[in-house]
Amino acid sequence: MLEDFIEANSLNAKIFNSIKSFNMAKCSLFEGDDGFVLLVFPFGKMIDFEKLKKSLKTKNLLKIEGKGVEEITGYNEGFVPPISIYGVKVVLDMELEKLEEINILTGEEQTLSISPKEIEASNEEFEIIKF
C-alpha cells in the first residue's frame, strides 16, 4: 500500500528494510474538534497536550491507540506513515521542517525516508506547528 502510493505519486521517498536511526520522527494519531490529526514529531520528544491543543486550536484532544489507529489509518500503531492516509490532517512539528529527510518506522525492520516537502505535497490537509 505505501510502496504503491510512493510510486503512483512519483515521490523520491524510499523505504529501507532496516532501521535508519538518524533524523527519526514518530507519527501519533489524535482526534480533535475538527477530526483526526496525524502528528509528526521528533522521536523522543515529550508531548505537552495543553500546548498541542493550543497550537491545533482545539479544546478537546484524544490520542487514538491500539486497534483504533489501524481502523482509521490502515496501519498498525507505531508504524503509521505521514502519507497515504485519506481524510486525516497531517501536522508536522516545526523542529522537523528544515531537515532534508525524516526517517519514520513503518515496520519492525522498515524505515520510510521522506522529506518534509514531500510530506506536505502528499497531503490535502497539512500544517506546520510549534508545540
CA distance 50 to 75: 27
pLDDT per residue over 3-19, tens digit each?
Answer: 999 999 999 999 999 99
pLDDT per residue over 64-103, tens digit each?
Answer: 999 999 999 999 999 999 999 999 999 999 999 999 999 9
Q: Which cell numbers hold the place of 39? A: 502528528
CATH of the domain at 12: 3.90.960.10
**Apex 41 CA angle, 110 and 65, nearest 5:** 75
Say what the pTM is.
Answer: 0.94
Give the domain range for residue 33: 2-129
* Terminal Cα distance for the chain, rounded: 31
pLDDT of residue 107: 96
Domain count, the chain: 1
CA distance 109 to 56: 32
Q: Which cell numbers hold the place of 44? A: 523522543
CA distance 104 to 4: 17
Alpha-carbon dihedral angle through residues 123, 125, 129, 131, given to the nearest 10 degrees: -100
pLDDT bracket for residue 131 (50, 70, 90): confident
